[in-house]
Chains A and B, each alone.
Chain A
Amino acid sequence: MKIDIRQITEGEESVVIRYKDPSPKINKIIDILNGDDSRLRGKTDEGDVFFSPDDILYLESVDDKVFVYTPDKIMKIDGSLNSFMAAINDESFFRCSKSMIINVGRVEALKSLSSNRIDATMEGGEHIIISRRYASEFRRLLKGDR
């Protein structure tokens, strides 16, 4: 890709992008220019969809594929749950079991279960169980002791 950068002394600053096909690189540049670089890209049957991390209720890994659940969509994203956690670097996302991540900001209510497990009711009404292995860490997260 040819990059043409020119410094100007007067007039309005502008960026012109010329492309044949919208590649991921081009889309990323457009996202940054639009101030939407925190937005994520998901795949649905209808095509690619952009969404904000705040829209996510939870993520689930099924057969090495990661699905994102928002109040109105289910999307597939690239990578793994670990790579998502590394990329997002946000305390609101909590690994609640081997195959799931929840957005704590979108949890409506919590219920303590036997054997030190926790039942999280999401905004959509789904119940997600935080396993015993992760429950202590979850309690610490809520108390700000991490």
Chain B
Amino acid sequence: MKNDKKLSPWEIFLTREIGIEFKACLYFFTILFYYCMYRIICGIFDAGIIHMAEMIITCYIVCYIQVYLFGNFDEAEKPGIKEIAGVIVCSALYILITIIGNWFDGKIGVTVGFAVYLLVVYICIFLIYRIKRKIEDKTLNEDLKLFQAEHKK
């Protein structure tokens, strides 16, 4: 059997980077949704470009911290101390930028609501990845049984 088809370090790096891009976009859209809802409730029907730029940059930075410092906690098998610490640190970073960037016009209630919303988002994404892995398990085991049946002949 040849094993020269294994992933090269460059391919592993690229896979991880694409994963971070995907994650940053995902979090950006969830944050943008909350921001837009807040603006609509306030009777404002446009979004600030500077605010959106701040959001996407923050999402990239936080996602890098999430992946490289906290072991990709939203994709973890079980929520442990490291994962909970990751959620707290990353949420705190988002909140900090929210206050510095004045996304919610300094309204404490909206900012607290945003913190709760972030927690819900993290829990939902954690559950989504868990469901995705369970579906993958089924496919993997079906493929395994087929492989074993073919190689028994």
Contacts and interface: CB of A to CB of B under 8 A. Distances in A.
Given A112-B133, A136-B7, A144 B147 contact: yes
A143 B3 CA distance: 16
Nearest to B130: A114
A65 interface: no
Contacts of B77: 113-114
A97 to B, nearest CB: 10
B136 A105 contact: no
Interface in B4-37: 5-7, 12, 15
B1 A89 contact: yes
Given A90-B1, A114-B72, A133-B7, A109 B141 contact: yes
Give chain A's interface residue range (CB within 8 Å of chain B). Answer: 20 to 34
B76 interface: yes
B107 interface: no
Contacts, number: 74
Contacts of B146: 142
A94 B147 contact: no
Nearest to A138: B140
Contacts of B151: 91-92, 104-105
A90 B133 CA distance: 29
B128 to A, nearest CB: 13
Contacts of A142: 140, 143-144, 146-147
B133 A110 contact: no
B1 A85 contact: yes
A134 B6 CA distance: 5
Interface of B: 1, 3, 5-7, 12, 15, 72, 75-77, 129, 133, 136-137, 140-141, 143-144, 146-148, 150-152
18 contacts: A85-B1, A85-B3, A88-B1, A91-B151, A104-B148, A105-B151, A109-B141, A112-B137, A113-B77, A113-B133, A114-B75, A115-B72, A132-B15, A137-B6, A139-B140, A142-B144, A142-B147, A144-B150
Q: Which 5 A-B pairs have the closest CB atoms?
A: A142-B143, A112-B136, A114-B75, A110-B140, A112-B133
Given A114-B72, A134-B7, 10 more contacts: A105-B148, A105-B151, A113-B133, A114-B129, A115-B75, A132-B7, A132-B15, A134-B6, A136-B7, A141-B147
